[in-house]
Amino acid sequence: MIYLDHAAATPLSAKVKKAMEPYFADNFFNPSAPYFPAKKVRAEYDTAKDRIAHTIGAKGNDIVITAGATESINLAFTVATKKVLVLETEHQSVLETAKNFDCKLIKVDKTGLIVLNDFRKKLDGDVGLVSISLANNELGTIQPLAEISEIIRAERQNRLKNGNKTPLYFHSDASQALNLIDINVARLGVDLLTINSAKIYGPKGVGALYVAHGVKLKPITFGGGQENGLRSGTENVPSIIGFAVAAEEAKTHLNGNRKHYEKLQKIFREELKDAPIEPIFLGNKKHQLLNFCPVAFSGIDAERIIYKLEDKEIYLSTGAACAASKGEKSHVLKAIGLTDDEIAGSLRISFGALNSEEDIKTAAKEIKTAIEEELARLGGESA
Amino acid sequence: MRSFFEGHKDSARAACPLPQAKARSVPSKESTHRPTVYLGMSGGVDSSVSAVLLKEQGYNVVGVYMKNWSKDLPGMKCPWAEDLADAKRVAVKLGIDFKVFDFEKDYKQKVVDYMLSEFKKGRTPNPDIMCNQEIKFKLFYEVAREQGADLIATGHYARVGWADTSSEGHPQLLRGRSEEPREDGRDERPEEDCIVPTLLRAVDEDKDQTYFLYRISKEALAHTLFPIGDMKKPDVKKLAEEKGLKNAYKKESMGVCFVGDVGMKDFLREYIEEKPGEIREIETEKVLGFHDGAIFYTIGQRHGLNVGGGLPYYVVKKDLEKNIVYVSKNLNEKNLWTSEIELEDLLIRGELPKSGEIEIRIRHRAPLIPAKFDEGKVILKEKIKRPASGQSIVFYLGDTCLGGGIVK
């Protein structure tokens, strides 16, 4: 099997799996229970939270554990009042949540990078929340969050000067980036940051939301008051333990990962050069997650390519798995101005830790073969 | 074959020349004259295996997903996109072309609106029958033909036969299954006017879907192939597995996709406002409880009444004007039974026997019951549970599905 869709899901790392193991049956206790073994689990749970928080330069108390990025994002948006600004290429979890408010979309350029002037223009005195992902989930384009937070800071100053008491918060979805970018919440200047275990070789169904001091959220689930009252429900101990190990591993291997992916990128792009249709590499080469290699082959039906490769046990995705399943064209690819043909012919490829150079060569070769077959089929049709 | 035609074979006069039994060889792959078949593909095992068979028979197959419905309902996500992906995956594996026909607007108008208006009249319509009549074997057929299809095909369990109507007495059945395509691709149907297409029951008795297909037009039928009509379902599944079609394991879709999983009542609730009313016992006029809208109830219905205690109550009558549902514990209640069914909107393909003696089916998979058709009425020897008004009664003569009508 050659798996090239790490933007969608990553396999659980062996180390993570091993760390989680004791918490399913042996150390199963409810962390809120009063006896010693439960207290011990509480301590380990709190330590795990600290470990997760440390990887983004925060403390355990600053993060709320959730059931994944979507829930983190929904929780983050409880800070919003009436007007929100989000990037037009945000993930559905942001766009759909933003629809509950007066939502304005910020434009991106052809590489998926934020158009800062458009952002400045739209950031008026009524905006209460800005949400911009650190890296896009289809293109891997990395946004200049520090620059964006500077603009936000200036707007806050402006409001203080004008006596405008509307608070302004900055949230970023960093789901895709934890194992490729050295994330530090202070450096990024965010008030809220979503991170996710499932994309960094940790278990699925667990994520976290960093909440800066003084940012007041409203709970979306009610009950026993866990997670500082923001997320009631018995803690998912094994997953949080796993998440902690995954986050630390991501941080530790940051440099190694980068080198690995740089090499794979180079090989893949080189191999695709002589494809029967000229490949259009999408995103921003300079500001792109190194494991992302989205590419469009205009004039072919990418879905057909995927089903062909599936037979060879090569798994990759079209535009975006989420959008694809609803049968709609990717809003991200539309936003960067691709033509319908380019969108239809676009593949989302994201490398992973276990991919070898040989894998990448094989995948590129099979993609080329599949395209050739499709061209032959189309040629036959018109004859 | 248990055909009623057999008894007439010897006596039939061959006044109409039989179509020549030309050699029907499977064309070579390079042949550009392969007849083109547009196959409705749902992503399920039946249409997938149909694609395999048509391709093996040498047709130029184009898979088509008909997008008829995509709206999610409370508690149920419409699986259309996954179905489409499954259908397309099969098409790609077989190396055939694949298209999506968007019939959503037409489906809403022709099927859903019809259904709702029928329900509002207190009737119990069958949307699947309407879908086959208006969408799959009309719109799909027309668009496919416009785009150059010689034939259409679906994964229904049914067969198309050809009968010679020129002889006196009952038509002569000429052949009971689709044959391999001819080289010129055009001459699938016999040319003679007296040779007419007939709808035949599937070989798999248990799966036969002719009940749903009885209203399709003669013209569409003449251009339709049912590739799995002479197979049994377990063999279809086996073939799917042999061919590596992963959807052999997929859950089967039942009837209309959105009604299948949600249930008709939940679906109707989306469109028809609830209107509380009384449930009365028909014999005593006593109010036993309350319902949420007489429209939602069907005569003969036993479940879902908010009336408890002892023997079950059956819905025996509805008064839509006063919004009253009448029930009875008496299984012999006269409203529940009948030996005479008045029909409207009759659709008969071919000729009914002069004696009027046929067999009928009152719902999909219901047993065939002997009956006599006379002046718009079906007369039965024994009383049966009264079919609801709006339901279809389908006529059979041996293997042939002659058509049918809708209960008045």
| pLDDT tens digits, one per residue of B114-161 | 999 999 998 989 999 999 999 999 999 999 999 999 999 999 999 999
Q: Cβ–Cβ of A381/B95 closer than 8 Å?
A: no
| pLDDT tens digits, one per residue of B292-327 | 888 888 888 887 776 766 788 889 999 999 999 999
Say which CATH superfamily domain B4-261 falls into. Answer: HUPs (3.40.50.620)
Query: Domains in chain A, please, with CATH?
Result: 2-9+254-378 (3.90.1150.10), 14-252 (3.40.640.10)
pLDDT of B21 > 60? The answer is: no
| pLDDT tens digits, one per residue of A152-169 | 999 999 999 999 999 999
Query: What is the structure's pLDDT at B99?
Result: 95
CATH of domain B273-328: 2.30.30.280
Query: What is the structure's pLDDT at B255?
Result: 44
Q: What are phi and psi of A254, to 5 degrees?
A: -50, -50
**pLDDT tier at B8, thresholds 50, 70, 90:** very low
In whole angstroms, what is the distance from residue B228 CA to residue B155 CA?
6
Mean pLDDT, range A218-244, rounded to an integer: 95
Structural domain spans, chain B: 4-261, 273-328, 336-407
Q: Is A216 left (phi over 0), alpha (psi -120 to 50) or beta?
A: beta
Chain B positions touching A330 (Cβ under 8 A) are none
CB count within 10 Å of CB A106 equals 24
Topology annotation, domain B336-407: Elongation Factor Tu (Ef-tu); domain 3 (2.40.30)
pTM score: 0.82
pLDDT of B19 > 80? The answer is: no
For residue B85, what are the contacts with CB-CB under 8 A and spacing of at least 6?
Answer: A303, A324, A325, B43
Mean pLDDT, range A328-334, rounded to an integer: 89
Q: What are phi and psi of B262, to 5 degrees?
A: -85, -35
Query: What is the structure's pLDDT at B11?
Result: 35
Q: Cβ–Cβ of A325/B89 closer than 8 Å?
A: no
Chain A positions touching B32 (Cβ under 8 A) are 383
Q: What are phi and psi of B107, to 5 degrees?
A: -65, -45
For chain B, give the percent of residues with pLDDT over 70.
78
A307 → chain B, closest CA residue: B89
**Which of B81, B97, B98 lies closest to A327 in CB terms?**
B81
For residue B259, what are the contacts with CB-CB under 8 A and spacing of at least 6?
Answer: B127, B267
ipTM metric: 0.78
Mean pLDDT, range A34-52, rounded to an integer: 96
Where is average pLDDT lowest: A55-69, B75-89, B282-296? Answer: B75-89
Q: Cβ–Cβ of A383/B32 closer than 8 Å?
A: yes
Where is average pLDDT lowest: A141-145, A249-253, A287-291, A323-327? Answer: A323-327
Catalytically active residues of B are: 131, 257
Preferred mutation among A325, A330, A372, A373 to probe B, highest tally of B CBs within 10 A: A325
The DSSP bridge partners found for residue B290 are: B278
**pLDDT tier at B3, thresholds 50, 70, 90:** very low
| pLDDT tens digits, one per residue of A339-365 | 999 999 999 999 999 999 999 999 999
DSSP designation for B387: P
Indicate the residue type of A260.
H
The whole-angstrom distance between B189's CA and the closest CA on chain A is 26
Query: What is the structure's pLDDT at A99?
Result: 97
